[in-house]
């Protein structure tokens, strides 16, 4: 008798389950903050040390611009300028253009920090506008900063030669040499210079006694 041939029964293939796709790793990258400016009215505290009776303009004729700026290290920070209310747009557009061009500013603090002392503020490399005072180095003349139409930028890296033939601030000697190209230095081709001039303003860097830090809207 021939033995019966048994055909082995094939087992069904196991069902394959697709492996889940890996979840994307979280990223810490954030969109860099852009330029932002907030305009507000000026109160007596804002001009505690920079305004007094007899000044050509008072708090009601001024505005505070709180804005972003690029610091020397490239970080984006916030500062403030007290400016003439009539020139808020010119200031805002000028500093917006400078920000977008990558221009660097050391600090932008209220002059109250130095009790309105211009020499101390210049030595601190501060950028500011309104300050009711005489011209530094020429006490017989009222400064255009008293009207809020003038501003100084990076005062240590952009020094000023006064009529008394003294350079201010006293710690700015290495930046009298304008061939240097350090962050925050300005020239005739700087965005901030071109913006002011295009709006009918002036830059003190072309004066016989140069005032590289000084800009003024007319």
The pTM assigned to this predicted structure is 0.83
Q: In the chain, which ranges are continuous DSSP H helix?
A: 88-100, 118-123, 191-198
Reported as a single tens digit per residue, the pLDDT across 116-163 is: 999 999 999 999 999 999 887 777 688 999 999 999 999 999 999 998
Distance CA 93, CA 32 (A): 20
* pLDDT score, position 33: 78
* E strands, the chain, in order: 37-41, 62-70, 76-84, 134-135, 138-142, 150-152, 160-161, 167-168, 202-203, 214-216
DSSP state of 176: S
Tokens found for residue 67: 């804005």
* pLDDT score, position 18: 57
Distance CA 155, CA 106 (A): 9
Please check the confidence at residue 186 and state whether its pLDDT lies above 60.
Answer: yes
Distance CA 143, CA 59 (A): 17
Helix-, strand-, coil-residue percentages of the chain, each rounded to 5? 25, 20, 55
Reported as a single tens digit per residue, the pLDDT across 92-109 is: 999 999 999 999 999 999
> Among positive and negative, which fits the CA dihedral 67, 72, 47, 145?
negative
């Amino acid at each position: 008798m021939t033995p019966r041939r048994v055909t082995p029964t094939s087992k069904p293939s196991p069902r394959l389950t697709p492996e889940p796709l890996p979840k994307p790793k979280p990223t810490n990258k954030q969109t860099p903050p852009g330029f932002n400016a907030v305009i507000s009215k000026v109160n007596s505290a804002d001009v505690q040390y920079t305004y007094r009776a007899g000044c050509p303009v008072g708090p009601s004729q001024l505005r505070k611009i709180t804005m972003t700026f690029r610091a020397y290290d490239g970080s984006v920070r916030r500062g403030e300028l007290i400016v003439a209310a009539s020139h808020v747009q010119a200031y805002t557009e000028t500093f917006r253009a400078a920000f977008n061009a990558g221009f660097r500013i050391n600090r932008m603090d209220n002059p109250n920090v130095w009790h309105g002392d211009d020499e101390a503020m210049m030595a601190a490399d501060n950028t500011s506008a309104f300050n009711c005072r005489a011209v530094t180095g020429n006490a017989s003349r009222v400064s255009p900063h008293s009207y809020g139409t003038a501003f100084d930028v990076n005062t240590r890296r952009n020094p000023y030669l006064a009529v008394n033939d003294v350079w201010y601030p006293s710690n700015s000697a290495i930046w009298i040499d304008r061939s240097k190209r350090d962050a925050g230095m300005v020239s005739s081709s700087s965005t901030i210079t071109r913006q002011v001039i295009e709006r009918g303003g002036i830059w003190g860097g072309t004066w016989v006694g140069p005032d590289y830090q000084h800009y003024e809207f007319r």
